[in-house]
């Protein structure tokens, strides 16, 4: 069995979405993920083992591994401390934004509509913050 190469980290803010996506893809993880075998590839347990882990504790762990962070924060552009943390750690973050991102179903729709673009972001260096809605990705940092 081949080992998986994780590329996407779903934050605890979108844990329901993470369970759906990570049940289908071997290259995604979330805090508390026990690991899985998907499509003949083994994903190890997530290094962030508790969904209640605070941002300053998990952000460097995730960033060091080069994982693209997917979270939900419709006001991220107005949160200077969060933008500063992304900048200082060199993180790559996509925030599901807008009023439509509040339910698991709507979050799934946003992520699926933007999936190809999210895959392209895994090749870009950080730091950056991008907001995602059904219709577009917008770079804010």
pLDDT at 99: 78
pLDDT at 78: 76
Give the whole-angstrom CA distance, residue 102 versus residue 72.
8
The arithmetic mean of pLDDT across residues 114-140, rounded, is 96
Give the whole-angstrom CA distance, residue 124 versus residue 37.
27
Q: State the pTM of this model.
A: 0.94
């Amino acid at each position: 069995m081949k080992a998986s190469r994780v590329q996407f980290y779903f934050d605890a803010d979108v844990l329901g979405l993470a369970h759906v996506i990570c049940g289908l893809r071997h290259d995604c993880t979330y805090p508390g993920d026990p690991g899985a075998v998907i499509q003949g590839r083994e994903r190890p347990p997530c290094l962030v083992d508790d969904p209640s882990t605070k941002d300053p504790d998990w952000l460097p762990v995730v960033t060091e591994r080069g994982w693209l962070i997917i979270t939900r924060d419709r006001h991220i552009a107005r949160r200077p401390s969060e933008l500063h943390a992304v900048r200082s750690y060199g993180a790559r973050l996509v925030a599901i934004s807008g009023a439509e991102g509040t339910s698991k179903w709507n979050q799934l729709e946003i992520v699926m509509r933007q999936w190809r673009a999210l895959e392209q972001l895994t090749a870009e260096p950080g730091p950056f913050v991008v907001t995602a809605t059904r219709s577009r990705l917008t770079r804010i940092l």
